[in-house]
Amino acid sequence: MGTGILVLVETDGGVPRKTATELIAKATALGLGPVSAAVIGPVDASSLGGVKVYQVESAQLAHYSTGATVKALQALVAAADPAVVLAPASLNSKDALPRLAVRLGAGLAVEVTDLRAEGGQLVGKRPIYAGKALVDVKVAGLGIFTVRPNSFPGGVAPAGSAQIVAVDAGITAADVDTELVEVLAPASKAVDLTEADRIVSGGRSLKSKESFDAVVRPLAAAAKATVGASRAAVDAGYAGHGDQVGQTGKVVNPSLYIALGISGAIQHLAGMRTSRVIVSVNKDPEAPIFQYTTYGIVGDLFEIAPLLQKELAAH
Ligand SMILES: Cc1cc2nc3c(=O)[nH]c(=O)nc-3n(C[C@H](O)[C@H](O)[C@H](O)COP(=O)(O)OP(=O)(O)OC[C@H]3O[C@@H](n4cnc5c(N)ncnc54)[C@H](O)[C@@H]3O)c2cc1C
């Protein structure tokens, strides 16, 4: 087995996503040996600090495809030879990393929300049963851990400039097993829900798309937050499918989650329960969401949301 921690860096237009520095900083603080990074495609490594960056570049990797990506990751892990691989719990990770784990004979711990070193080994904490319980996970041999975005604050990589090591993964057109038909840009320029540090979500109680737009979106703008929604709100057409938080929507992990008129069904909680601070507005004092709420406001959201918006806009 190898040594140290390899962090898989995801990029957006060649710029490392926020999760890259979150994971590199945490990996460094764990003190479990050398920290290196792995990246597919072009990267501006200036924000990654002094870590060694293993990089695979290929025209076949211009767009995500499972076969080519897993082959590239396999070559990157072989080059770095780590004891642990850390990756963001992203959509692509969900697709590629179980296959990578099988190919490498590695153990896989997904959706981890905390990491610690114990006896020279990495221990991950992850929610199970839709967030009802937390378990510690250790992996014997090579371990791959996917970590929810925003699990670690700060995200400042160690000082120094990255040293890039080019890796040849031998990728050919035959490895590209999907065809890209079209890329649909999201309507909003806000930070993606899964990485958002602040979220304002609305539920069925908003009653119409017009009032969702008039109440939830301005509050989100004032809070510099991304808009989310319950499934009931999405099914009713108040918000898009990409905005749904929960078991069949997106799992989010912000430092602030404001829930407006959301009851707190188990399927919604499964997607947002690990949020650091939860503020709930509900006119029913018995609403289940209050059991998981840091600051609860019993009241009519149509009165409370504008007050919150005014306060937030003043700061
Ligand atoms: C297999 C499965 C998967 C699911 N996946 C998801 C998922 O991913 N995400 C998800 O969200 N749900 C999911 N659901 C649905 C989930 O069970 C709930 O039905 C849904 O979350 C309810 O949405 P809601 O809280 O907006 O609506 P409701 O449960 O109807 O709650 C509305 C709340 O608003 C309050 N309210 C009403 N008017 C006001 C007002 N004026 N001011 C303040 N409060 C007010 C009410 O007191 C109530 O608590 C799933 C269900 C199933 C079966």
CATH number at residue 145: 3.40.50.620
The pLDDT tens digits of the residues spanning 140-169 come to 999 999 999 999 976 666 677 789 999 999
Within-domain flag for 123? yes
Buried b / exposed e along 220-251 (16+ C-beta atoms within 10 A):
bebbebbbbbbbbbbebebbeebbbbbbebbb
Count the domains in the chain. 2
Residue with tokens 């006896």: 119
Domain with 54 in it: 5-175
Judge if 46 and 151 occupy the same domain. yes
pLDDT computed for residue 52 by the predictor: 95
Residues 180 and 189: their CA atoms lie apart, in Å, by: 22
Regarding whether 114 and 235 lie in a shared domain, the answer is no
Residues 6+ apart with CB under 8 A from 214: none
User: Is the CB–ligand 1 distance for residue 283 below 6 Å?
Assistant: yes
Q: Is 204's C-beta closer than 6 angstroms to any atom of ligand 1?
A: yes
Of 245, 247, 250, the one to substitute when testing ligand 1's pocket (max ligand atoms within 8 A of C-beta) is 247
Asked if 103 contacts 144 with a C-beta cutoff of 8 angstroms, the reply is: no
Q: Which pLDDT belongs to residue 156?
A: 65
Nearest-CA residue for ligand 1 atom 35 is: 261
- The CATH number covering residue 220 comes to 3.40.50.1220
Q: Count CB neighbours of 183 within 10 A.
A: 6
Q: Name the E strands within the chain.
A: 5-9, 11-12, 15-16, 35-40, 52-56, 84-88, 107-112, 114-118, 121-128, 133-137, 143-147, 163-166, 198-202, 226-229, 256-260, 277-282, 295-298
- On whether residue 181 sits in a domain, the answer given is no
Does residue 145 lie in a domain region? Answer: yes
In whole angstroms, how large is the CA radius of gyration of the chain? 21
For the chain, which residues score pLDDT lower than 50?
none
The candidate with the shortest Cα–Cα distance to 78, out of 56, 49, 109, 57, is 56
Please give the pLDDT value at position 67. 96
Q: Does residue 263 share a domain with residue 217?
A: yes
pLDDT at residue number 102: 98
Question: Residue 308: inside a domain, yes or no?
Answer: yes
